[in-house]
């Protein structure tokens, strides 16, 4: 049977103290192996300080162009950094955020993704593919070597609850179905009171609980799955 590798990546690292604490907990006592840093937020400093003391935690960039929420059957902006339809503004913002990442971390990101997956749509998609190709790092959903699984998430796209997806049983089901090769499993851990006031606030602590459940690590070992990080894999190419 072909080998199965699992990267467990925490999004939103650095957005708030509560998210940072959730990532710390899920890395030290759970299965999180990598995180994607939001460099625009003040708590990015604490996230980076932790990552420097825990080099096994691979650090990528979570490019942040804004956030949207589904309210009254419409998507409305919570905040906007730059219009994602303005490719010139996007390119300038990507340059700024990458430079901030390098100044904070002292290295290039080991992987690239974006807040609320906005890089999946044009014109961002083509531009971000080129950025990832220049850096020779995986871009979520467009890597030639790393598949992405986003099923460990406790809501629909419109914000309706899906608690079974962030349960021990739900995560075990994902693990059983992992295909051969390298899979990135996305997650959004967070604990405590200092969490962003967003519709996904209450689900974050449940994710931490499941990611740290001893049954999960035991199952990973029993299934012959190898936990790894973006920095522990030597990628021969970056994007497909």
Annotated catalytic residue 12:
no
From 11, 12, 21, 141, active-site residue: 11
Instruction: Tell me the C-alpha distance between 124 and 134, whole Å.
Output: 15
Annotated catalytic residues are 11
């Amino acid at each position: 049977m072909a080998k199965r590798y699992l990267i467990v990546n925490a999004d939103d690292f650095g957005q708030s103290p509560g998210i940072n604490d959730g990532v710390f907990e899920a890395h030290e006592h759970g299965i999180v192996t990598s995180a994607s840093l939001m460099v625009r937020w003040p708590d990015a400093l604490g996230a980076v300080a932790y990552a420097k003391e825990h080099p096994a935690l691979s650090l990528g960039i979570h490019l942040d162009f804004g956030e949207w929420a589904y309210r009254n059957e419409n998507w409305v902006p919570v905040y906007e950094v730059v219009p994602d339809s303005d490719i010139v503004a996007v390119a300038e913002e990507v340059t700024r955020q990458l430079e901030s990442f390098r100044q904070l971390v002292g290295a290039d990101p080991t992987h690239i993704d974006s807040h609320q997956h906005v890089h999946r749509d044009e014109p961002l998609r083509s531009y971000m593919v080129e950025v990832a190709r220049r850096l020779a790092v995986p871009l979520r959903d467009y890597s030639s070597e790393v598949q992405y699984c986003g099923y460990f998430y406790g809501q629909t796209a419109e914000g309706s609850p899906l608690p079974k997806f962030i349960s021990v049983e739900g995560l075990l089901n994902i693990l059983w179905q992992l295909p051969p090769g390298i899979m990135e499993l996305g997650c959004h851990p967070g604990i405590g009171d200092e969490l962003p006031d967003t519709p996904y606030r209450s689900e974050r602590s449940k994710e931490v609980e499941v990611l740290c459940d001893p049954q999960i690590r035991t199952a990973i070992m029993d299934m012959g799955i190898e936990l790894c990080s973006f920095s522990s894999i030597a990628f021969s190419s970056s994007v497909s």
